[in-house]
Structure 1
Amino acid sequence: MTTLANTAQHPLVRVLYRSGLLAEDLDYHAVRAAMVIMFFFFGYQKWFPYEFERLVPFISNGPLIWWLYPVFGHAGASYFLGVSEWTFGSLLLAGFWDKRLGVLGALGSTGTFIATVTIIPFMPEGWDVAAGGFPAMTGNVPFLMKDVVLLAVSFYLLRQDVVRLMRQ
């Protein structure tokens, strides 16, 4: 039977501990940094014509974002999403220092990924009929599935920031 004392004596555990990988909050900070980087890069894409057309199947089939085209047009919808992504990424970045801003960024991030995850059931030809349909993904659905994880990450950051704000 392995005890905590025996585990702490294990050379690999000692190396990991000394490296800082087991430091408290490292996972929280790494997840926050990853989301900031992701929002920066995805927001950057939204300023170019190739992305205007790439977004068509997503926005057109999004039950929560379909209205972007009638209101802004193709380029304007892409710009709107780019500004939103940079705003939420900036708020998440500011959340390293101010948890109130982190909460706002995590709320925006959560809303973003609720909007994208809800596209999945409405995406035409999203399930490979030849392979039996659901859950055999095809077309744009595999790209959207990453947003399920990003939604969970957004909820994690939101919870962490609210808890940390309450402790202050």
Structure 2
Amino acid sequence: MLSEATEGRLAHLGVGVSRWSLVLFFIGFGLFKFTPQEAADVAPLMAHSPFLFWVNPLFGQQGGSDFIGVIELIFGVLIALRHFQPLLSAYGSLGAAGALLITQSFLFSTPGLDPQSADAGFLLKDLTLFGVALFVSSEAFGAARRRSAGS
């Protein structure tokens, strides 16, 4: 058994690692969306998505990827604001969770995607990130409530 103090330190460390890995993920992949290679790679996923099918026809392949990149960057920045604006961070985390659910839908909507391929594995990891986004959102909502009660 661990002491309560050790449990608290582990929980604090776990929340921090979870939040900042999510921030780095969204900022890193958000920036990557501005590259022609990534735009070409995500175009077939978006074209068959029940949620994003309209993006590339509206903005073009690179513009559509840029659009998604901006959204990902916004979520990453909002999540990073946890210590300054926990409520914004909580909503950013919820937005990230929604984005991660959309990427999970690619597993079912992309024709010819081999479930055992590296592409499918890359998409499947978003299920874990979805859980992380919900977890850090809950923590940030709690921090916002405590801050509001202390005001």
TM above 0.5, one fold?
yes
TM-score category, normalised to shorter length:
0.7 to 0.9
> What's the counterpart of residue 33 of structure 2?
46
CA contact (8 A) 1:95 1:105 kept: no
The one-letter code matched in structure 1 to 2:136 is: L
1:23, 1:157 → 2: CA distance? 15
2:78 paired with 1:91: yes
- What root-mean-square deviation, in Å, do the aligned CA atoms of Structure 1 and Structure 2 show? 2.1
From 120, 131, 137, the equivalent of 1:141 is: 120
Higher percent of residues as helix: 2
CA contact (8 A) 2:43 2:56 kept: no
1:17-56 → structure 2 map (5 Å cutoff): 22-56=9-43
Q: Which has the larger radius of gyration?
A: 1
Structure 1 consecutive aligned stretches of length 4 or more whose deviation exceeds 3 Å: 21-24
> What's the counterpart of residue 161 of structure 1?
140
2:62, 2:83 → 1: CA distance? 32
User: 5+ residue gaps in structure 2?
Assistant: none
- TM-score using structure 2 length: 0.86
Q: Which has the higher contact order (CA 8 A, sep 6+)?
A: 2
1:74, 1:101 → 2: CA distance? 30
- TM-score using structure 1 length: 0.78
User: Measured at CA, do residues 139 and 28 of structure 1 come closer, stay the same or move farther in structure 2, by a change above 3 Å?
Assistant: closer
The one-letter code matched in structure 2 to 1:167 is: R
Secondary structure of the corresponding residue to residue 116 of structure 1: helix
Secondary structure of the corresponding residue to residue 25 of structure 1: helix
> What's the counterpart of residue 61 of structure 1?
48
CA contact (8 A) 1:125 1:138 kept: no
2:83, 2:48 → 1: CA distance? 35
From 95, 101, 104, the equivalent of 1:108 is: 95
CA contact (8 A) 2:87 2:144 kept: yes
CA contact (8 A) 1:126 1:139 kept: no
Secondary structure of the corresponding residue to residue 60 of structure 2: helix
Q: 1:163, CA displacement in angstroms?
A: 2.0
The C-alpha deviation readout for 1:85-125, integer Å capped at 9, x for no partner, is 11110001111322111112112101111111111112222
